[in-house]
């Protein structure tokens, strides 16, 4: 991977992270969402849950089913999901609009029940407390320079697990950090790096 270009040029002539150009869905997600700061407990619960569902799968699979996930999980409102019953669980296991993985569904429901007992803003504060200093993270020039796990994501994983959350390993935690703007892993010459995703 060390010989790959810093960024790939899309049909519009703008350089982007190479992964973003594989599908139109990825272009939109890359340009408008990935790496932009996300705050709010429910919003972060959604991202955390979707990253857990992504484990072992491609992100495009999750991205294309996100409307189905949102419908199935009440827009990931923590207080609502925490009250889901056994009947809701069976509904989820039969829902073809999501990934019908029993362990991941159970983890999402269990995580909501844990988080429902937290004070408002606690999840946001915990997650963002693990954001590294941007000054310590030079812009990656190629995908080979983008890590899958970092000391910060390992620390975030441990903190979440300590609170009783499931499916929050270091790799999942780092994917969350990338998606929610705790780190800016857009490549150095990527057009999105110079935009709202983190600028510089």
29 belongs to the catalytic site: yes
Residue 128 lies in a domain: yes
Catalytic residue among 19, 33, 59, 83: 59
Encoded tokens for 20: 């973003």
Residue 117 lies in a domain: yes
Residue 178 phi/psi, 5-degree rounding, is -65, -50
Cβ atoms of 115 and 123 closer than 8 Å: yes
Residue 198 binned pLDDT confidence (cut-offs 50, 70, 90): very low
pLDDT at 194 over 90: no
Query: What range does the domain containing 148 cover?
Result: 41-180
34 belongs to the catalytic site: no
pTM: predicted TM-score of the whole model, two decimal places: 0.92
The predicted model gives 12-40 an average pLDDT of 94
Overall number of domains in the chain: 1
Residue 86 lies in a domain: yes
Residue 30 lies in a domain: no
Cα 104 from Cα 107, distance rounded (Å)? 5
Residue 1 lies in a domain: no
118 belongs to the catalytic site: no
Q: Which CATH number characterizes residue 63's domain?
A: 1.10.340.30
Please name every residue paired with 8 in a beta bridge, in sequence order, or none if there are none.
16
């Amino acid at each position: 991977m060390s010989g790959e270009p810093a960024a790939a040029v899309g049909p519009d002539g703008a350089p982007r992270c190479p992964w973003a150009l594989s599908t139109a869905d990825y272009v939109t997600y890359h340009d408008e969402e990935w790496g932009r700061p996300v705050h709010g407990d429910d919003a972060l619960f959604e991202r955390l849950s979707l990253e857990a569902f992504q484990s072992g799968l491609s992100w495009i699979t999750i991205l294309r089913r996100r409307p189905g996930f949102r419908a199935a999980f009440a827009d990931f409102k923590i207080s609502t999901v925490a009250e889901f019953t056994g009947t809701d669980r069976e509904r989820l296991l039969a829902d073809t609009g999501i990934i019908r993985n029993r362990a991941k569904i159970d983890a999402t429901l269990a995580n909501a029940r844990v988080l429902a007992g937290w004070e408002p803003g606690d999840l946001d504060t915990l997650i963002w407390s693990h954001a590294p200093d941007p000054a310590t993270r030079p812009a990656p020039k190629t995908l080979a320079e983008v890590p899958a796990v970092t000391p910060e994501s390992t620390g975030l994983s441990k903190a979440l697990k300590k609170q009783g959350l499931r499916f929050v390993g270091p790799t999942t935690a780092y994917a969350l950090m990338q998606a929610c703007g705790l780190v800016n892993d857009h490549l150095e010459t990527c057009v999105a790096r110079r935009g709202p995703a983190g600028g510089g």
